[in-house]
């Protein structure tokens, strides 16, 4: 499996789109719309998307912390 671009490296990446994708996967799994093999594949996709979202949020939290620190220093 090829490694996907991280959230910070892809201009077309969208946190909201990833969350919607994850929600769609969960809905399909819960509805029983997928064959068992597809469930595992979609679950793996959802986990990778969650990791990307987590990385995105961590990066943004670091930026906010830096801005707060900069404001506190002034």
* pLDDT band, very low/low/confident/very high, at 12 (cuts 50, 70, 90): confident
What DSSP element (H or E) covers 69?
helix 36-73
Residue 30 in 3-state DSSP?
A: helix
pLDDT for the residue numbered 8: 45
Q: Could you tell me the residue ranges of all domains in the chain?
A: 15-73
pLDDT at 5: 46
Q: Read off the pTM.
A: 0.74
Mean predicted lDDT score pLDDT of the chain: 88
25-72 confidence digits (pLDDT tens) = 999 999 999 999 999 999 999 999 999 999 999 999 999 999 999 988
Q: d(Cα 29, Cα 42) in Å, to the nearest integer?
A: 8
Q: What is the DSSP string of 19-46?
A: HHHHHHHHHHHHHT-S-HHHHHHHHHHH
Say if CB 59 and CB 8 are below 8 A apart.
Answer: yes
């Amino acid at each position: 499996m090829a490694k996907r671009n991280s959230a910070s490296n892809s201009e077309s990446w969208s946190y909201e789109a990833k969350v919607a994708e994850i929600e769609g996967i969960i809905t399909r799994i819960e509805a029983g719309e997928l064959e068992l093999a597809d469930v595992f594949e979609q679950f793996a996709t959802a986990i990778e998307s969650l990791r990307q979202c987590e990385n995105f949020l961590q990066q943004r939290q670091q930026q906010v912390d830096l801005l707060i620190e900069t404001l506190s220093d002034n």
